[in-house]
């Protein structure tokens, strides 16, 4: 399928590793140009060796609205506009401490809000504007990552639907992707596999397909929803979990 993303101008937050990195790579394979950000400058430098000249990485603290505004504006000038924004950031915060809640709120939720607020005025000028938010099945079902991570991911699903209604008259589509267990060696499941192998085996066995997702599988879903190939899809939450969750979506 031709996703019609050749020369598309794309922003990706959290793009140096894991799901975000796979999203950047998938857009590049489709012929898009990408500006991405991450917290860690060293991670950006390493990722850049793989991405090449059609991607540009910048160290940005997504919890800082001023930094995010500057990055979006600078990226738009470099790319010649913005067609797509993918918000893929998380503090991966767990536990009941107030500091964990604050970190999750400022990163997962406000980090996404900062990106969207900065980008929407520029997306209005695009003929194929799209926003994709990366949430999680933890935002839909109570699991071991229920708080504060799951609570913030649930808020993102609601936020995505709200944005889709608000911006549909402006032809800006907004969708959300909610992955289940996604394995990569330097991610949370890689860490659990190393530190708590019994827990990892238990969680792995809960996946009906017998494995966890790969980052590129999530990336392909996100890139499809961002593309003109999904031109009549807005306001949806796409669950990508290999059958892990049991709830019925109405």
Active site residue 90: no
pLDDT at 116 over 90: yes
HSE of 43, CA atoms in CB hemisphere, 13 A: 16
Choice among 153, 161, 178, 227 that is catalytic: 153
**41 phi and psi, to 5 degrees?**
-65, -35
CATH of 9-182+214-240, one of 2.40.110.10, 3.40.50.720, 3.40.50.2300, 3.40.50.460: 3.40.50.720
**Which residues, in sequence order, are CB contacts of 240 under 8 Å at separation 6+?**
177, 178, 179, 180, 213, 217, 218, 221
Residue 175 φ/ψ region, left for φ over 0, alpha for ψ in the -120 to 50 degree band, beta for the rest = beta
Closest CA to 37 of 60, 19, 64: 60
Q: What percent of the chain has pLDDT over 90?
A: 94
The per-residue pLDDT for 49 is 92
Q: Over range 169-194, report the average pLDDT.
A: 96
149 is catalytic: yes
Catalytic site includes residue 153: yes
CA-nearest of 149, 181, 143 to 18 is: 181
Active-site residue identified among 136, 138, 164, 178: 136
Four-point Cα dihedral 80, 156, 243, 182, nearest 10: 60
Which is the catalytic residue, given 149, 159, 161, 164? 149
Find the mean pLDDT for residues 172-193: 96
Q: How confident is the model at residue 2 (pLDDT cuts 50, 70, 90)?
A: confident
Average pLDDT over residues 91-98: 93
Q: Give the confidence band of 249 by pLDDT, cuts at 50, 70, 90.
A: confident
pLDDT digits (tens, 9 = 90+) for 13-30: 999 999 999 999 999 999
Q: How far is CA 108 from the centre of its chain?
A: 10
Least confident range of 21-25, 85-89, 164-168, 186-190: 186-190
Q: What is the mean pLDDT of residues 146-174?
A: 97
What pLDDT is attached to residue 1? 73
pLDDT tens readout for residues 126-144: 999 999 999 999 999 999 8
Q: Is 135 a catalytic residue?
A: yes
Residues 6+ apart with CB under 8 A from 4: 128, 227, 228, 229
Tokens of 8: 């598309």
| Catalytic, out of 75, 135, 138, 227 | 135
């Amino acid at each position: 399928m031709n996703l019609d993303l050749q020369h598309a101008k794309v922003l990706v937050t959290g793009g140096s590793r894991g799901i975000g990195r796979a999203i950047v790579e998938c857009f590049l394979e489709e012929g898009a140009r990408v500006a991405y950000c991450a917290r860690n400058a060293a991670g950006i430098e390493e990722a850049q060796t793989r991405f090449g000249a059609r991607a540009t990485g910048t160290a940005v603290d997504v919890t800082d609205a001023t930094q995010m505004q500057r990055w979006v504006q600078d990226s738009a000038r470099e790319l010649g506009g913005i067609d797509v924004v993918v918000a893929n950031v998380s503090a991966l915060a767990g536990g009941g401490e107030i500091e964990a809640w604050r970190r999750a709120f400022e990163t997962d939720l406000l980090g996404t809000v900062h990106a969207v607020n900065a980008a929407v005025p520029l997306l209005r000028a695009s003929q194929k504007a799209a926003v994709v938010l990366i949430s999680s099945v933890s935002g839909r079902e109570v699991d071991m990552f229920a708080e504060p991570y799951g609570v913030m991911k649930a808020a993102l699903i609601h936020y995505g639907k709200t944005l889709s209604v608000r911006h549909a008259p402006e032809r800006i589509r907004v969708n959300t992707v909610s992955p289940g267990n996604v394995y990569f060696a330097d991610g949370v499941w890689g860490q659990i596999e190393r530190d708590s192998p019994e827990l990892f085996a238990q969680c792995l066995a809960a996946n009906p397909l017998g494995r966890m997702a790969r980052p590129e599988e999530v990336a392909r879903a996100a890139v499809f929803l961002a593309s003109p190939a999904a031109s009549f899809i807005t306001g949806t939450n796409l669950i990508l979990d290999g059958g892990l969750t049991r709830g019925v979506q109405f």
